[in-house]
C-alpha cells in the first residue's frame, strides 16, 4: 500500500429525526449510519453488503455529498469534503460520481439522451461549448457499448440495460476518479446484469477507477470487490479482503448472508437458515450487539455489551463477542 | 373429466397462445406453450422479464390484464378447460382450486382487516374446510366464526409465524415483509387448493428472509404435498425447490426437463447461456458469462427461432423456421434445430 487512501472515512454518522404529532417535534432518531470508519485505496473496489435498512444507500449519499453527515469526517484524496466552496465543490463533483440502482428514476422522462449526457459536462464546466460536449457524450456512449443513435432517444425508448449503460456513460463522461455504484444491477435481468458487471470491470481497468460497490447480492460483491464490508443496522460488523470473507466469515451475520445465497445446483445441500426473524428497525436499535435478537449463537453478554470492530488479524476486522462461532454449526 | 385428461395431472396447458395489445396492435406474447404438472410436483418456470412466464401463469385462473387475451390452446385444470367456463364457475375455481401468491404481499393484503380475518375468509367461502364435531353447515354462525378463527391461527403456525394468536389480531402494516409474505402463503394454503402458483414471491425480500421463506416452502411441500408452479428468474431458487424446470424465452418454452438433467446438461443454447450468466463462487473466484444482446421486443420479434440473433450455435435455417419441440428422452423436451430429428 502506497500513500494515503483515496477515501478516508472516520466516525461517520447520520441520524434522521423522526417527526410526529402536531408540532412535528423530533421524537426519536433513525440511526441510519452510526459511527462508521473505513478507507479505500486508489484502484480498489470496496464492496459494501447488507440488507434493506442497514444504511448502505445513506452511505452512498453521504460520500457523494447529497447528504450532510450528523458527525464524522470524509476525506477524499487527503482533503476534507465538508465546507467546500463553489469551485471546490464543482471539482469534487467532477472527481466523484454515482450510479444509482434505478436508471428509470435517474433519467428525466422528457429529456433526450443527448441532453442528459451533456448536462453534467456543461454545469461542471468541463466542455466549453455544446459541440464539444456532444463529442464527449458520443465518446462516453461508445465507452459503454452504445451507438450514437441512442442520443436522440427518450428514456422510455430504451431497455433497462441500455438505460443503465446511459447512466454509467453520464458518470464516465466527466472522467471521474471515484465512482459510487449503488445497486447498479439489481433492476436488470440476470443476462443484462452479467453484461453490466463486465462493463464496469472493463471501465475500471481502462480508466484506473476506484469503486465503492453497494449491493445486497453477495456473489456480485464477491466478484467485483477487493475488500468487502458487511453492514448491519448502520454499523460495519465485518471487514476483510473479499476471498477471505467469503471462504471464512467470522461474524455470524456474514456467515448467514453467505449461506442464504441459493446455489444453482440441485444437489447442493440446503442448510437451515442461520438467522431468525427480520432486520430490526433502525429507530429502535437493539441493545448490546445489534444483531443479537436474530443471532442463533447469542449469549447474555451480546444483549448487554456492544462489541467493538476489532482487528483480529491484519486487515481482518470483526465486531462480535464470539468471532467464528458460526463456523462449527452444522450445515 | 375433460378431453385428454391424464390421471394425476393437476394442470395441463396445451398449445397456449396469448396476445397483448401494445400500441393498438395485438402481439404474440405467449407462443404455443405446453406444460403439465402432476399432483405433488413442483414445476419451476424460469425466464427473464418479458419472457411470458407470468402471462402463462395468469392464463390459468383467467386473470390476464385487460390488454391481454388467450387466442388459442387449452388450459386444463383437473381435466377441465378453463376457457369454456362461465365467470361463476371460474370464481369457484379461483376460490378453491388455484391459489396465487405474488411478489409484493402488501398489494394482496387488506390494510384495514386483521390478519386472522383475512385467512378466515377462506372458511366463509368454503365452510367444508372447517373441521369439527358437527357438520359445518349445522353449526351456529358464531360457532363457525370461532372455528374459523382457530383454524386461521393453525395456518399461521403452519407457516411458522411465532406467537400466532397475537399476530392473528394484528394488521398487515404491523408486520415485516417476510411475515406478510408468510401470511399470504397461509391464506393460499387455507383454501387447500389443488394448485399453488407462486410468482417471484421472494424477489422483494432480503436474502436472509428469502432463505427462510424458501426453507418454509420446502417444508410445507413435505408436510402438505402441495402442487406448485414456481415462477422465478433465479436459477438458485429453482435448483433448490423444483422437480422439473421449463425455461422460457420470448414467449416460448425452449427446454423442459427434470431439474438434474437441466442443470447438469442443458441442451438449448439459451438454457446453457442462462445458467452461465448466474455468477457462482468457485473456489477462489466467481465465474459467469454474459449473453450478448438483449431479448427482442414483443412488437418486433425476429423470424424463426427468436433466440437466433443471440445464439452462438446458430444454423442457416434458424432465421427462417421456428423449431418444433423435440423429445430427446421421456420428459426432456427441447425446441432447437440443433436437435431437430425431423
Candidates B163, B211, B261, B309, partner chain A, best to mutate (most A CBs within 10 A): B211
User: Chain B residues with CB inside 8 Å of A267's CB?
Assistant: 260
Asked whether residue B239 is assigned to any structural domain, the reply reads: no
Q: Directed axis angle between helix B207-224 and helix A252-259, to 10°?
A: 60
Span B139-173, pLDDT tens digits: 788 888 899 999 999 999 999 898 899 999 999 99
- The CA-based angle A246-A249-A255, given to 5 degrees, is 95
Tell me the pLDDT tens digit for each residue of A45-84: 999 998 888 888 899 999 999 999 999 999 999 999 998 9
Does B128 map to a domain? yes
In tens, the pLDDT along B204-231 reads 888 888 888 999 999 999 899 999 999 9
- How would residue A251 be classed by pLDDT, with cut points 50, 70 and 90? very high
Taking CB atoms and an 8 Å cutoff, what residues of chain A touch B273?
A: 191
CATH number of residue B117's parent domain: 3.40.50.300
Partner B, chain A 186-205, Cβ-Cβ below 8 Å:
189-195, 197-198
Number of domains in chain B: 1
Check pLDDT > 50 for residue A99: yes
pLDDT at A1 over 60: no
DSSP for B70-116?
Answer: EEEEEEEETTEEGGG--HHHHHHHHHHTEEEE-S-HHHHS-TTS-HH
pLDDT of residue B5: 55
Taking CB atoms and an 8 Å limit, are B208 and A256 in contact across chains?
A: yes
Alpha-carbon distance B271 to nearest alpha carbon in chain A (angstroms): 11
Residue B261: inside a domain: no
Residue B148 lies in a domain: yes
- Whether residue B298 lies inside any domain: the answer is no
Residues paired with A39 in a beta bridge: A8
In a domain, residue B200? The reply is no
Q: What is the structure's pLDDT at B106?
A: 86
Does residue B252 fall inside a structural domain?
A: no
Q: How many CB atoms lie within 10 A of CB B138?
A: 10
In this prediction the pTM is 0.87
**pLDDT at B118 exceeding the cut of 80:** yes
Closest Cβ opposite residue A191 in set B48, B212, B286: B48
Instruction: For chain B, give the percent of residues with pLDDT over 70.
Output: 96
Q: Is the pLDDT of residue A21 over 80?
A: no
In this prediction, residue B287 carries a pLDDT of 82
Q: In chain B, which residue's Cα lies nearest the Cα of A199?
A: B290
β-pairing, B244-249 vs A79-80, is unpaired
Return the number of other C-beta atoms located less than 10 Å from residue A265's C-beta.
16
Grid coordinates belonging to B185: 402463503
Please indicate whether, in this complex, the C-beta atoms of A257 and B208 are within 8 angstroms of each other.
yes
Closest residue in chain B to residue A217, using alpha carbons only: B207
Chain A nearest-CA residue for B258: A266
- What does the pLDDT look like over A156-190, one tens digit per residue? 888 888 899 999 999 999 999 999 999 998 878 88
Q: What is the pLDDT of residue A330?
A: 55
Instruction: Examine residue B158 and state whether it is found in any structural domain, yes or no.
Output: yes
Residue B132's pLDDT band, with cuts at 50, 70 and 90, is low
Residues of the domain holding B118: 105-192
The answer on pLDDT for B293 being more than 90 is no
Mutate to test the interface with B, among A191, A201, A268, A284 (most CBs of B within 10 A): A191
pLDDT tens digits, residue range B227-256? Answer: 999 999 889 999 999 999 999 999 999 999
Amino acid at each position: 500500500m502506497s500513500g494515503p487512501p483515496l477515501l478516508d472515512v472516520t466516525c461517520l454518522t447520520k441520524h434522521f429525526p423522526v417527526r410526529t404529532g402536531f408540532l412535528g417535534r423530533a421524537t426519536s432518531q433513525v440511526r441510519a449510519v452510526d459511527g462508521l470508519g473505513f478507507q479505500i485505496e486508489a484502484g480498489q473496489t470496496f464492496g459494501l453488503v447488507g440488507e434493506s435498512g442497514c444504511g448502505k444507500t445513506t452511505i452512498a449519499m453521504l460520500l457523494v455529498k447529497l447528504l450532510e453527515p450528523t458527525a464524522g469526517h470524509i476525506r477524499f484524496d487527503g482533503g476534507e469534503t465538508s465546507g467546500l466552496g463553489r469551485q471546490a465543490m464543482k471539482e469534487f463533483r467532477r472527481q466523484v460520481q454515482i450510479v444509482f440502482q434505478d436508471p428509470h428514476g435517474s433519467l428525466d422522462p422528457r429529456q433526450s439522451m443527448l441532453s442528459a449526457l451533456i448536462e453534467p459536462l456543461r454545469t461542471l464546466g468541463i466542455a466549453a461549448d455544446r459541440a464539444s460536449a456532444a463529442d464527449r457524450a458520443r465518446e462516453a456512449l461508445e465507452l459503454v457499448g452504445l451507438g450514437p443513435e441512442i442520443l436522440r432517444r427518450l428514456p422510455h425508448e430504451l431497455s433497462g440495460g441500455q438505460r443503465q449503460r446511459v447512466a454509467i456513460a453520464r458518470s464516465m463522461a466527466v472522467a471521474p476518479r471515484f465512482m459510487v455504484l449503488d445497486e447498479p444491477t439489481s433492476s436488470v435481468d440476470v443476462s443484462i446484469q452479467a453484461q453490466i458487471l463486465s462493463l464496469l470491470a472493463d471501465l475500471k481497468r481502462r480508466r484506473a477507477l476506484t469503486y465503492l460497490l453497494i449491493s445486497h447480492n453477495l456473489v456480485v460483491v464477491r466478484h467485483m470487490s477487493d475488500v468487502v464490508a458487511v453492514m448491519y443496522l448502520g454499523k460495519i460488523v465485518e471487514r476483510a479482503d473479499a476471498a477471505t470473507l467469503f471462504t471464512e466469515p467470522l461474524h455470524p451475520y456474514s456467515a448467514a448472508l453467505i449461506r442464504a445465497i441459493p446455489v444453482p445446483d440441485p444437489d447442493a445441500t440446503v442448510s437451515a437458515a442461520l438467522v431468525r426473524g427480520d432486520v430490526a428497525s433502525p429507530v429502535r436499535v437493539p441493545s448490546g450487539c445489534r444483531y443479537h435478537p436474530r443471532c442463533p449463537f447469542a449469549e447474555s453478554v451480546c444483549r448487554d455489551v456492544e462489541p467493538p470492530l476489532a482487528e483480529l488479524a491484519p486487515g481482518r476486522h470483526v465486531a462480535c463477542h464470539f468471532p467464528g462461532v458460526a463456523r462449527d454449526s452444522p450445515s | 373429466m375433460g378431453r385428454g385428461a391424464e390421471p394425476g395431472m393437476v394442470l395441463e396447458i396445451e398449445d397456449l397462445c396469448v396476445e397483448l395489445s401494445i400500441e393498438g396492435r395485438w402481439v404474440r406474447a405467449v407462443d404455443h406453450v405446453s406444460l403439465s404438472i402432476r399432483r405433488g410436483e413442483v414445476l419451476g418456470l424460469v425466464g427473464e422479464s418479458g419472457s411470458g412466464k407470468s402471462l402463462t401463469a395468469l392464463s390459468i385462473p383467467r386473470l390476464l390484464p385487460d390488454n391481454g387475451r388467450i387466442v388459442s390452446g387449452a388450459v386444463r385444470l383437473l381435466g377441465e378447460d378453463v376457457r369454456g367456463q362461465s365467470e361463476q364457475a371460474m370464481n369457484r375455481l379461483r376460490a378453491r382450486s388455484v391459489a396465487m401468491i405474488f411478489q409484493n404481499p402488501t398489494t394482496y393484503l387488506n390494510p384495514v382487516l386483521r390478519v386472522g380475518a383475512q385467512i378466515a375468509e377462506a372458511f366463509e367461502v368454503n365452510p367444508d374446510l372447517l373441521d369439527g364435531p358437527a357438520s359445518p353447515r349445522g353449526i351456529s354462525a358464531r360457532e363457525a366464526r370461532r372455528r374459523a378463527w382457530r383454524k386461521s391461527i393453525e395456518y399461521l403456525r403452519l407457516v411458522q409465524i411465532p406467537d400466532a394468536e397475537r399476530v392473528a389480531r394484528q394488521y398487515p402494516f404491523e408486520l415485516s415483509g417476510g411475515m406478510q409474505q408468510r401470511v399470504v402463503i397461509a391464506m393460499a394454503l387455507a383454501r387447500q387448493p389443488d394448485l399453488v402458483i407462486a410468482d417471484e414471491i421472494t424477489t422483494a425480500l432480503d436474502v436472509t428472509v428469502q432463505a427462510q421463506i424458501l426453507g418454509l416452502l420446502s417444508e410445507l411441500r413435505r408436510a402438505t404435498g402441495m402442487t406448485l408452479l414456481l415462477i422465478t428468474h433465479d436459477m438458485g431458487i429453482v435448483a433448490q425447490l423444483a422437480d422439473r424446470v421449463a425455461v422460457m424465452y420470448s414467449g416460448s418454452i425452449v427446454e423442459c426437463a427434470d431439474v438434474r438433467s437441466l442443470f447438469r446438461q442443458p441442451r438449448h443454447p439459451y438454457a446453457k447461456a442462462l445458467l452461465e450468466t448466474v455468477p457462482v463462487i468457485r473456489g477462489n473466484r466467481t465465474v459467469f458469462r454474459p449473453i450478448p444482446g438483449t431479448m427482442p421486443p414483443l412488437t418486433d420479434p425476429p423470424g424463426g427461432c427468436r433466440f437466433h440473433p443471440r445464439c452462438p450455435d446458430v444454423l442457416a435455417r434458424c432465421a427462417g423456421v421456428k423449431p418444433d419441440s423435440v423429445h430427446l428422452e421421456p420428459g426432456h423436451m427441447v425446441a432447437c434445430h440443433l436437435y431437430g430429428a425431423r
